[in-house]
Amino acid sequence: MKTLSRKFATLALSLLITTLLVGITTMAQINSTLSKPPAAKIDAKKTTVHDETLVDNYHWLRDKSNAEVISYLEAENAYTDAVMKPSAAFQEALYKEMVGRIKETDIDPAYRQGDYLYYKRTEQGKQYPIYARKKRGDQNAPEQVTLELNQMADGLKFMAVGDYEVSPDGKLLAYTTDTTGFREHTLQIKDLMTGKLLPERIARVNSVAWASDNKTLFYVVDDAQTKRPFRLYRHTVGHVGGAEKDTLVYEEKDEMFNLYVSPTRSGAYVVATSASHTTSEVRVIPADKPSAEPRVIEPREASHEYYIDHHTDRFYIRTNEHGAKNFKLVAAPIADPSRKNWKELMPHRKDVMLEDVDLFANHLVVTARENGLPELIITDLRDNKTHNLEFPEPAYTAAVNVNKEFDSEMLRFSYQSLVTSPSIYDYNMRTRERQLVKQTPVLGGYDPARYTSERIHAMAADGTRIPISLVYKKDFRRDGQRPMFLQAYGSYGYAHPISFTSARLSLIDRGVVYAVAHIRGGGEMGKEWHDQGKMMSKKNTFTDFIAAAEHLIKEGYTSRDRLVITGGSAGGLLMGAVANMRPDLFKAIVSHVPFVDVINTMLDETLPLTVSEFQEWGNPKEKAAYEYMKSYSPYENIEAKEYPTMLVKTSLNDSQVMYWEPAKYVARLRATKADKNPLLLKTNMGAGHGGASGRYDSLREVAFDYAFVLSQLGVTQ
């Protein structure tokens, strides 16, 4: 989301020399000697809502085509770089540490599909993976490169692959790429027999699925303005002309709904799912009859969500009907899968969220979540015997991995924790034997036994127990003196993953405790957990986080002057809200692509995501919702008081949280706050919501963030 004088660079260099001579210089001291940061001009825009006039002094920053806007962002970048210049050598050292822990030339485990084994690999010094395949059953089979992203990214600032779908006969590859970060993916088709690209190029494609004839491809396109995926087309390979020349199969006209297409693992059906945040509707097309009219499984009904998969003569349906908030599993005959024929297979449980269903020829795999942790539940469909996969650690993430083949006894799943690096397993669902296929190597002598991971709970004001996951070195003592980096998200029912990253060791090995607060609004404890942190209950998300921070301080894990917090996107909303509510509680804040301009964004229905997210945040055109949103929206609640030091990061091509939200927020905060603590805005001028796309560029961004965090915690080596 005006060119500065060169004196900034000169001053920064001078300050670095001074630092080396006299010892640690705090960022606040550095900031006090630098010239003043950029001051955004005031150009007020007034909006009347519910007889109240809102004044937005920085609305003009929305115009990306305005050279003055770009100059302002570049001025902010120059100022941030000047303030951070004394840490340049430290940033480089952190970056080299992080690169030194990864195996730069490496290969992912291959997955089976048809006659081939498919995989990605990396080469030292190259930013992007190489997609490739080999013939199955021949150890000496030559490698065939299907996509060489490094060549495709030549001359571009950004490159990302969206869909990667091989036709059933293995001869054609349908893939989509985004070259700006704005989530505008272009579909192309490659002939894998000749290596040549076919002539068709279709813009704004969101998802794709092959029919079984190997020449018909279904795809969904986004609306050009709102980016809502809404039209399903049928394409015949070799037919050039774009979406306007293909057959429109279905259009989702309700702006609250997004449309997605996917194949069933059985290969028998193409599934088109329309879904809002609270309701869904599914259509199916026989894969061997691609010209058939889509058939609705069950007509949409407000607040009823259901999702399907296929097995032989039945559809398996995950549904929240009749108050089953955490979903239950039913089955229905293909001949008539309407609700009257649904037969319950797995009942609803109040304390267990049924998150996903995967079907194989002889087995059913259910991904569930209990006590905030994922479970993989396996049922043998031949005798209906069920068992769970066991996982050893107190906090972890486990998930079904890439499983393309229906007729297989093997389940490939992934596992990681705060101390265990990402691991891929093949699990024989019949014999119950588990084989480690690959664990991501961590170079440099990493020993997980040197670290401790635990799960504790804080108590919210209403008595709700808030889980907190932590990791630290084993020499840790709860003396209140340890620095901490606390992260959270808390929106959309998304369960914050317990993930491992070797880059984080650059914090932990320097004595920093890393923690994740699993606050309401997320999905850790089921649908009720989400419901208690959205719409007119959204403030629970913020007060839960404050309760978690207070608990960690009270229990001696850290102290206020040693606590740095972070969140991104909707987690950036969290950062902005708690900064307004309890600025005294935190030493510093790192906010990534933060959704901080809630009212103005949700009033603008031309923006991506706005309409569909009325069911997450509320519609400010309704007075009660407006007043509630306005009471917590970070942009509207900035006050003339002291705030923590902040690093706010955005990307110019972000389509999910537009760059101007953090830019406006920083401008208003800088003009209002009563302290002299550094406030930095860093804009990636060539990326989107997730930041840099290249792996080395991404690590440089992390090194920059960590240098900021560690400097705030008094660690400069």
Label residue 66 by pLDDT band (50, 70, 90).
Answer: very high
| Alpha helix segments (H runs only) across 532-569 | 539-554
Contacts of 277 (CB under 8 A, 6+ apart): 256, 492, 612, 613, 615, 616
Label residue 263 by pLDDT band (50, 70, 90).
Answer: very high
Give pLDDT, residue 35. Answer: 66
Give pLDDT, residue 528. Answer: 97
Is residue 17's pLDDT more than 80?
no
> Domain containing 82 — which CATH number?
3.40.50.1820
**Rg, Å, the chain Cα set:** 26
Burial class, 447, CB count within 10 angstroms (exposed 0-12 / middle 13-18 / buried 19+): exposed
Instruction: Give 221-262 as a 3 state SS string.
Output: EECCCCCCEEEEEEEECCCCCCHHHCEEEEECCCCCCEEEEE
Is residue 598's pLDDT more than 50?
yes
The pair of structure tokens assigned to 622 is: 């309704």
The pair of structure tokens assigned to 81 is: 């770089």
| Lateral strand order in the sheet of 306-311 | 306-311, 314-319, 328-333, 343-346
Quick one: CA torsion of 604, 606, 608, 611, rounded to 10 degrees? 70
Per the domain annotation, does 549 fall within a domain?
Answer: yes
The pair of structure tokens assigned to 535 is: 């719409």
Which helix (H) or strand (E) element contains residue 591?
Answer: strand 588-592
List 276, 469, 569, 711, catalytic entry = 569
CA within 13 Å, CB half, 500: 25
> For 342-352, what is each residue's pLDDT tens digit?
999 999 999 99
For 445: left if phi > 0, alpha if psi spans -120 to 50, otherwise beta; the answer is left
Quick one: CA torsion of 151, 152, 157, 160, rounded to 10 degrees? -120
DSSP state letters, 32-92? HHSPPPP-PPP--EEEEETTEEEEETTGGGG-TT-HHHHHHHHHHHHHHHHHHGGGHHHHH
Per the domain annotation, does 446 fall within a domain?
Answer: no
List 689, 693, 705, 711, catalytic entry = 689
Q: How far apart are CA 259 and CA 274, in angstroms?
A: 4
Q: How far apart are CA 455 and CA 394, in angstroms?
A: 6
> For 124-144, what is each residue's pLDDT tens digit?
999 999 999 999 999 899 999
Q: How far apart are CA 93 and CA 64, in angstroms?
A: 35
Q: How far apart are CA 446 and CA 439, in angstroms?
A: 13
Per the domain annotation, does 247 fall within a domain?
Answer: no
569 assigned to active site: yes
Rounded mean pLDDT of the chain?
A: 94
Is residue 235's pLDDT more than 60?
yes
131 forms bridges with which residues in the sheet?
A: 120, 147
Contacts of 169 (CB under 8 A, 6+ apart): 114, 214
Is residue 27's pLDDT more than 70?
no
Per the domain annotation, does 487 fall within a domain?
Answer: yes
* Domain extent at residue 636: 7-99+462-708
Label residue 239 by pLDDT band (50, 70, 90).
Answer: confident
> For 463-513, what is each residue's pLDDT tens digit?
999 999 999 999 999 999 999 999 999 999 999 999 999 999 999 999 999
Is residue 152's pLDDT more than 60?
yes
Rounded (5°) CA angle 75-678-630: 90
Could you tell me the CA-to-CA distances from 103 to 91, 275, 435, 567, 696 in Å, in that order?
Answer: 20, 40, 22, 28, 12
Per the domain annotation, does 649 fall within a domain?
Answer: yes
190 forms bridges with which residues in the sheet?
A: 173, 197
Label residue 244 by pLDDT band (50, 70, 90).
Answer: confident
The pair of structure tokens assigned to 249 is: 């199969």
The pair of structure tokens assigned to 57 is: 């002094």
518 assigned to active site: no
Q: Return the biggest CA–CA distance within the chain.
A: 81
Per the domain annotation, does 81 fall within a domain?
Answer: yes
Q: Are 492 and 90 in contact (CB under 8 A)?
A: no
Label residue 411 by pLDDT band (50, 70, 90).
Answer: very high
Give pLDDT, residue 34. Answer: 53
Is residue 220's pLDDT more than 90?
yes
Q: How far apart are CA 582 and CA 597, in angstroms?
A: 19
List 276, 654, 705, 711, catalytic entry = 654
Q: How far apart are CA 693 and CA 180, in angstroms?
A: 10
Q: How far apart are CA 699 and CA 340, in angstroms?
A: 53
Give pLDDT, residue 307. Answer: 98
Q: What is the total count of domains within the chain?
A: 1
654 assigned to active site: yes
Q: Are 507 and 584 in contact (CB under 8 A)?
A: no
DSSP state letters, 595-649? ---HHHHHH-TTSTTTGGGHHHH--TTSHHHHHHHHHH-TTTT--SS---EEEEE
What residue type is 372 in one-letter code?
G
Is residue 30's pLDDT more than 50?
no
Q: Are 373 and 417 in contact (CB under 8 A)?
A: no
Q: Are strands 563-568 and 484-487 parallel, antiparallel or unpaired?
A: parallel
Per the domain annotation, does 291 fall within a domain?
Answer: no
Query: What is the share, in percent, of the chain residues with pLDDT greater than 70?
Result: 95
Q: Are strands 484-487 and 513-517 parallel, antiparallel or unpaired?
A: parallel
Q: What is the mean pLDDT of residues 453-458?
A: 98
Per the domain annotation, does 482 fall within a domain?
Answer: yes
Q: What is the mean pLDDT of residues 590-602?
A: 98
Label residue 582 by pLDDT band (50, 70, 90).
Answer: very high
